[in-house]
Structure 1
Amino acid sequence: MDAPANPTPSRRSWLFRWFERRIDPYPPAPVVQPPRSLYAFCRHYTRGTERWLLLMALLTTAIAVTEVALYAFTGSIVDRLSSHTPATFLAEEGWKFAGMALVVLVVMPTLNLLSSLVIHQTLLGNFPMRIRWRVHRYLLRQSMGYFQDEFAGRIATKLMQTSLAVRETVIKLLDVGNYVVVYFGGALLVAAAADWRLMLPFAGWLIAYAALLRYAIPRLNRVAQEQADARSTMTGRIVDSYTNIATVKLFSHSRREESYARESMDSFLGTVHRQMRLATFVNVSNDTLNMLLLFAVAATGIGLWMQDAVSVGAIAVAIAFVLRLMGMSQWIMWEMSALFENIGTVQDGINSIALPATVDDRSGAKAIGPVRGDIHFDHVTFHYGKKGGVIEGLDLHVRPGEKVGLVGRSGAGKSTLVNLLLRFYDREGGAIRIDGTDIATVTQDSLRASIGMVTQDTSLLHRSVRENIMYGRPDATEEEMVEAARQANAHDFIMELVDAKGRRGYDAQVGERGVKLSGGQRQRVAIARVLLKNAPILVLDEATSALDSEVEAVIQENLYRLMQGKTVIAIAHRLSTIAAMDRLVVMDQGRIVEQGTHEQLLAAGGLYAQLWQRQSGGFLELEAEAAAP
C-alpha cells in the first residue's frame, strides 16, 4: 500500500495563500489614460487596494504605540524595583508584569505577524503586478508613433521601474512614515511626562534632523530623477545593440557600440557619484546629531535627577529612547531618501507612461461589422505633423473585390496611405470610409481585424512557429493552420526546424523578431498567418520582396488564390509582381498622378512607363535624379 502524501506543507501554507489572494493582480478595469500629477497617478493605481493599505497603516500605528508603551513600562520597572523588596515586589506588582507579559508574548507577535502577512503576502507582490498589468494594457493601445519615438527596452524599463516605485512610495508613506510620526510623538510625550525639560533635547534634535532632511532629500530627489532617466537611457542603448546585433556585426561596429553604451554609462555613473557624495554628507551629519542628542539627554537627565526632579527610571527610558533613535535615524534618513528616489522615478515614469494616445477610439465607438471591402479615400491629407508634404488632398475609390496596385518612387506616400487605412495614424483632413463608414468612428481592433497585411519588413514574435501562424486566427484548428502553411509554401521547411532546446517543427521557437529563420522563411510564415486570418481586405506591402524567384512564383500563385473575393491593395517596387492587378495607381509626392491598367499606363507614356523602362532585372531604379522626367 502506498504511503499517504504528506499534507503538512499545504496545511501550513493555507494562511499565506489566503492573504496572497486578497488582491487581484490582474484587475479587469477599463483601460484609460493615467493622470499626469504625482498624487493622482499614485491614487489611480492604488484603487482596489485601499482597504489593505489602510489595514497596514493601522497595524503599523498599533505596533509603534505598543513599542513606546513598552519603553515607558521599562522605566517604571526601574522605579518599582527601587521601591520594593524581593518579598513584596511580585505580590504588589505581579499583575502588571502578567499584563505586560501578555503584550510581549502574544499581542506584539500577533501584530507583527498580521503586519508581515499584509505587507509581504498581500501587498508587495500583488500591488506592483496590478500596476504592471494596467500600464502594460494601456501601452499596448498606444499609437504606433509612441513606439517609434522610444527604445522598446527603455519603455519596458520604465514600466518595471515605475510599478515598483509607486508601490514603494505608497507603502513607505503609509507604513514607514506613519510609524515614524507615531513613534516620535510617543517618545516626546513619554519624556515630557517625566519632566518637560527632559523633552527639550529631543525637540531640538527633531528640529535639526528635520532641517537635515529638508536640505538633503530634495537634492537626493533631483539626483534620483536624473539617475532614473540615465538608467533608462543606458538600458535602452544596450538593448538596442542586442536587438540589432546582426547589423552591428555586419558593419564590424562592436567598438562603436561600446562607445555608444559607454556614453550613457558615464552619464549614469555621474549621477551615482553625486548621490554618494550626498550620502556621505548625510551620514556624517546624522551621526553628529545623534551623539549630541545622547550627550544632551544624559546631561539633562542627570542634572534633573540631582535636583530630584526626575526618577532614575525616567532617565533610563530617555536614554533607551536615544539609543533606539540613533539606530532609527539612519534608517529613517535612507527610507526618506528612498521614498523621494521612488517619487523621482514615478515622476519620470509619468512623463513616459501617462501620455495620451494620438490615435484613440472615440467615445461610444462600435465594431465595424461585416465588411464587403468598399474603400474610399475622400480628399485625405496627412503630414506626420509637419507643415507640408506626404499626402495632399488625395481621392481614391477601391471597389469591393477590386485589386489595386500602388506604384511610385520611395517617399511617394504609398505606405503612408496604408498606415492611414489601418489607423496607425489619423488623417489630418478628409475622411477614409469602408463600406460608407468613417473608420474614425469604429474601434481600431475591429477595423484591423478586417484587414490582413503582409509587410516588407516581416517581424515574428519570439515564440513557436505555431503561435506565430495562429496569431492570425487563434481559434483556428491545427488542420487549418497546417493548410495555411502549405499554401504559403512553408510547411516543408517548418517540419525540418529544430531549436536549441530540441523542439521541432511547429513547436520550434523562431527567436526574437524571427532571427532564427531566413528572410524568405519569415516572409512565408507571415503570409501563412495572413492566409489563416482570411480578412476581407488584403494589403500587400512588398510581400514577396524577400523571396527568391522560384519561391516567389509559388507564393504569387497562392496569393492570387487568396485574393479571390477580396479587396486588395498591393505595394511593390518590382512592378512585374503587380502588373496583372485590375488597376494601377501611380503616386508621386503624396498625390495620384496616373491610374489605369498596366497596358493603359504604358501606352500613356507617363511616369509609370518611365519607371517600367528603368527597371533592371525586375527591380525599380530608385535614384530620384535618374527617375526624373
Structure 2
Amino acid sequence: MTKAFGHLIRFVWTYGKGLLFLTSTLTVLLGVMPVIMLWLSKETINEVARLIQHPAMDYSTILLLLLLQFMVTMLTSIFMNTQEYLNGKLTNVLEHAAQSSVLQKVISAPLFYFDLPEFYNHLERVNDSPGHRLLSPLRQAFEIGRIFITISGYLVFLLTVHWSLVLLSLLAAIPMFLVQMKFGKRNFWLKFGLTPLVRDMEYTRSLLKDRHSAKEIRLFGLGSYLLNRWSEAFSHQFTEILKILRKQQRAEIGMDGLTALFYSGAAMIMIWLIQTTPIQIGQFVAIGQAVQGTQGLTNQLSTLLAKVFEEMLYANDFFRFLDYKHPESENQAKGTEPFPAALKKGITLENVTFSYVDTTTSVLQNIQLHIKPGEKIAIVGENGSGKSTLVKCLMGLYPLAKGDIRFDDVSIRQLAPDQLHKNMTVIFQDFLKYAYTLRDNIGFGDITRLEDTDAMNEVAATTGVAEIAQNLREGYATFLGRFLQEGEDLSGGQWQKIALARALFRQGTIIILDEPTAALDPLMELEVYKLVRDLTESKTTIFISHRMAAARMADRIIVMENGRIAESGTHGELMASNGTYARMYESQAQWYA
C-alpha cells in the first residue's frame, strides 16, 4: 500500500504539481477558518452579553467582530469554491493522463495478452474513471489535513477548559474508523470478485445496443433471452452490493448512537463546569460548539481515512495494471536490427513451435519452411490447423516457444518490431472497417503518408476504390457507415477493395492475406486473389485460405494439418500425390463447376 501511495504521489505530481501546490495552500487556510470563526463567535456573544448588562457601553467592538465574521465567511466561500474549481481541473488533467496511460499500456501490450481473461478483467477494473479514482484519495487526504487542522484548534481550546472534554470528543472516532475501514475493504474485494460478471453484463448490453448485432438478434429472437441474461447479472451484482450496504448502515447507526452517548457525557461535564468554575456565556456556547464540532469532524476523519484505504486499493490495482508483465512476454522480440533492405535469401522458418499462454498443447510443431524472395505461397488447411497462428508468428505478434524465423540472415528476435511491421502488409479475415472517412480507411495503411494524395489516388485506381469514391457524396472525405455520422454503407466487396488499397498503400515488401475473402463467395474470392497477384508481382506474398481453387494461383502450396506441414508443392504435384490437398480440392470442385 505504501508503494502504491508513492506511485500515486509521483503520478499526480508529474501531471499536476502546480495545481497540487495551490490546493494544499487552500486546504491549510480552510482548516484554520473554523477555529477563527469559533473564537470570533465566542467574543461576539460575550460582547453582546456585556452590552445587555451595560446598555450605555460602546458597541463598536461588536460591529468590528461582526465585520470580521462576515469577512471570514466570505473568504471561506472563496477558498472552498476556488479549491473545488482546482479539483475539477486537476481531475480532468489526471483523467486524461490516467486514461492515456491505460491506453498506452493496451496498445503496447503483446498480442497474446488479449488471449488472457485476467488481462481483460484487470483492464475492466481500472477503466472506470481512473483519473477521478486516483485523485479521490488525494482529495480525501487534503480533506483529512483540513479537518485535522480544525480539530487541533478545537482541542487546544477544549484543553484550556478541561482535559476530559478532549478525551470524550475523540473516543467515538476509533470504532467509527475501524467500521469504515472494514466495509471499505469489503466493497473493494466485492467489486474485484464481480469483475467477470460485470464484463458479461456489459458485453450483453453492448450486443443489445449495437447496430451490427441488431439484425441477428431480431432474426433469431434473442432479444428477450439477452435482456434476461443482462437483468439477472445486474440483479446478482445489485444484491451482493446491497448485502454489504445493509450491514454497513446497521453498523453506522450503532456508531451514531455511540457518538450521541459520548456527547451526552460531554454535556454532563459542561454542566459540572458551570457549577464549579466561572464561565462566560460565550465560552459556554463555544465549548458546546467545539465538542460537537470535534465529534462530528472526528467521525468524518474516520470515514475519510477508511475511504482513503479503500481508494488506495484501487490505486494499487491501477499501478499493478500499468506494471503488468506476463512471464511469457520475455520471449517477445525486442531486437534493434533494421529489416534487410531487400530480401536476397528469403524467409526461413526453423523448427518453429508455438503454444498459447498457459496451455501445454502445441499449436505449431517444428515448422520447417523456406520462402524465396518474390515467391507466392498459399497456406491451406482445415480450420484449426494452425494457418493463422503461423503467420502471426511470422509477423512477430506471437513469441516463439522454440525455433527461429530469419529474414535473410537476421533472426526475428534481433529485428526491431517496428522495422518488421513496417515491411509487412497484411489483410486479416476480420479486417477493420473504420467508421472514419474513406481517406482514413486507406491512409491508415501508412499513417506517416496520410496526406500523400497522389499515392492514395494511385492505389485507389489500381484496386477499384477510385470508382467507389466517385459514387460517394463527398468522395474520399465521406464517412463510411452510420456509426459516427450519416455516412455511406458499403457492400462486402467494396470494403474488401478498400482493405486491399489500405494494405498496398503501406508499400510493404511482404504481403500477407489471412483469409480476408472468407466472407465472399468463391468466385468473388478468385477475382480478389487474381487482383492481388497482379498488384504484387514483385513482392513476397503469403495468402491463407481454406478454399483450394484460390491456392492454384500460388507458386507453391503448403498444406497444414494439426499444427504441422503435411504437404508442400505445386497444385499439379499435390494433385498427383493424391493426398490431403487432392481430397480437399475435389470436395470443393463443385463450387466452381
State the TM-score bracket (shorter-chain normalisation). Answer: 0.7 to 0.9
CA deviations over 1:409-440 (Å, ceiling 9, x no partner): 22222111101011221010111122322222
User: What is the RMSD computed on CA atoms of the aligned residues?
Assistant: 3.6
Q: Report the residue type matching 2:205 in the other structure.
A: I
Percent identity reads 21
The residue number in structure 2 matching 1:76 is 43
Residue 498 of structure 2 is aligned to residue 533 of structure 1: no
* C-alpha displacement of 1:74: 2.2
TM (norm. structure 2) is 0.85
Contact 2:350–2:404 (Cα < 8 Å) also in 1: yes
Contact 2:44–2:282 (Cα < 8 Å) also in 1: yes
The residue number in structure 1 matching 2:72 is 104
The residue number in structure 1 matching 2:429 is 456
The residue number in structure 2 matching 1:378 is 350
CA deviations over 1:58-116 (Å, ceiling 9, x no partner): 3212211232232133223334554575665557x589849946962675455445533
* C-alpha displacement of 1:521: 2.7
Structure 1 SS opposite 2:396: coil
Q: Report the residue type matching 1:118 in the other structure.
A: L
Instruction: Indicate which of 468, 480, 486 corresponds to 1:509.
Output: 480
Q: Equivalents in 2 of 1:231, 1:59: separation in Å?
A: 39
Structure 2 SS opposite 1:381: strand
Q: Report the residue type matching 2:237 in the other structure.
A: F
Q: Equivalents in 2 of 1:338, 1:211: separation in Å?
A: 11
Question: Is 156-165 or 191-200 further displaced after alignment?
Answer: 156-165
How many residues matched? 579
The correspondence of residues 14-163 of structure 1 with structure 2, limited to 5 A, is 38-39=4-5, 41-43=7-9, 45-48=11-14, 49-82=16-49, 85=54, 97=65, 100=68, 104=72, 108=76, 111-112=79-80, 114-121=82-89, 123-150=90-117, 155=123, 158-163=126-131
Structure 2 SS opposite 1:441: coil
Q: Equivalents in 2 of 1:129, 1:189: separation in Å?
A: 43
Instruction: Indicate which of 377, 380, 385 corresponds to 1:412.
Output: 385
Which 5+ residue runs of structure 2 have no aligned equivalent? none
Residue 231 of structure 2 is aligned to residue 262 of structure 1: yes
The residue number in structure 2 matching 1:5 is none
Contact 1:405–1:569 (Cα < 8 Å) also in 2: yes
Structure 1 pair 388/117, CA: closer, same or farther in 2 (3 Å)?
closer
Contact 1:228–1:345 (Cα < 8 Å) also in 2: no
The residue number in structure 2 matching 1:480 is 455
Structure 2 SS opposite 1:585: strand
Instruction: Indicate which of 140, 150, 158 corresponds to 1:191.
Output: 158
Question: Is 418-427 or 276-285 further displaced after alignment?
Answer: 276-285
Structure 1 pair 496/321, CA: closer, same or farther in 2 (3 Å)?
farther
Structure 1 pair 233/414, CA: closer, same or farther in 2 (3 Å)?
closer
Residue 216 of structure 2 is aligned to residue 253 of structure 1: no
Q: Equivalents in 2 of 1:495, 1:138: separation in Å?
A: 40
Structure 1 SS opposite 2:362: coil
* C-alpha displacement of 1:494: 4.6
Q: Equivalents in 1 of 2:375, 2:109: separation in Å?
A: 32
Instruction: Indicate which of 242, 245, 254 corresponds to 1:276.
Output: 245
Structure 2 SS opposite 1:571: strand
Contact 2:559–2:566 (Cα < 8 Å) also in 1: yes
Structure 1 pair 230/323, CA: closer, same or farther in 2 (3 Å)?
farther
Structure 1 SS opposite 2:446: coil
Instruction: Indicate which of 225, 239, 260 corresponds to 1:291.
Output: 260
Q: Equivalents in 1 of 2:351, 2:264: separation in Å?
A: 83
Contact 1:584–1:595 (Cα < 8 Å) also in 2: yes
The residue number in structure 1 matching 2:464 is 489
The residue number in structure 2 matching 1:320 is 289
Q: Report the residue type matching 1:508 in the other structure.
A: F
Q: Equivalents in 2 of 1:333, 1:41: separation in Å?
A: 24
Q: Equivalents in 2 of 1:191, 1:529: separation in Å?
A: 76
Q: Report the residue type matching 1:416 in the other structure.
A: T
Q: Report the residue type matching 1:201 in the other structure.
A: L
Contact 2:96–2:131 (Cα < 8 Å) also in 1: yes
* C-alpha displacement of 1:232: 4.4
The residue number in structure 1 matching 2:134 is 166
TM (norm. structure 1) is 0.81
Q: Report the residue type matching 2:352 in the other structure.
A: V
Structure 2 SS opposite 1:191: helix
Structure 1 pair 127/533, CA: closer, same or farther in 2 (3 Å)?
same
Q: Equivalents in 1 of 2:409, 2:55: separation in Å?
A: 99
* C-alpha displacement of 1:119: 1.9
Contact 1:60–1:178 (Cα < 8 Å) also in 2: yes
Structure 1 pair 603/263, CA: closer, same or farther in 2 (3 Å)?
same
The residue number in structure 1 matching 2:569 is 596
Structure 1 pair 407/435, CA: closer, same or farther in 2 (3 Å)?
same
Q: Report the residue type matching 1:391 in the other structure.
A: L
Contact 1:61–1:179 (Cα < 8 Å) also in 2: yes
Contact 1:290–1:326 (Cα < 8 Å) also in 2: yes
Question: Is 72-81 or 260-269 further displaced after alignment?
Answer: 72-81
The residue number in structure 1 matching 2:172 is 205
Q: Equivalents in 2 of 1:102, 1:318: separation in Å?
A: 22
Structure 1 pair 231/95, CA: closer, same or farther in 2 (3 Å)?
same
Contact 1:144–1:424 (Cα < 8 Å) also in 2: yes
Structure 1 pair 615/105, CA: closer, same or farther in 2 (3 Å)?
closer
Q: Equivalents in 1 of 2:94, 2:511: separation in Å?
A: 43
Question: Is 147-156 or 406-415 further displaced after alignment?
Answer: 147-156
* C-alpha displacement of 1:610: 2.5
Which 5+ residue runs of structure 1 have no aligned equivalent? 1-34, 620-629
Contact 2:425–2:507 (Cα < 8 Å) also in 1: yes
* C-alpha displacement of 1:154: 8.7
The residue number in structure 2 matching 1:8 is none
Contact 1:359–1:423 (Cα < 8 Å) also in 2: no
Instruction: Indicate which of 437, 440, 453 corresponds to 2:413.
Output: 440
Contact 2:173–2:295 (Cα < 8 Å) also in 1: no
CA deviations over 1:332-391 (Å, ceiling 9, x no partner): 566556545534544555665542265476667355363537211122111214323321
The residue number in structure 2 matching 1:180 is 147
Structure 1 SS opposite 2:425: strand
Q: Equivalents in 2 of 1:584, 1:480: separation in Å?
A: 32
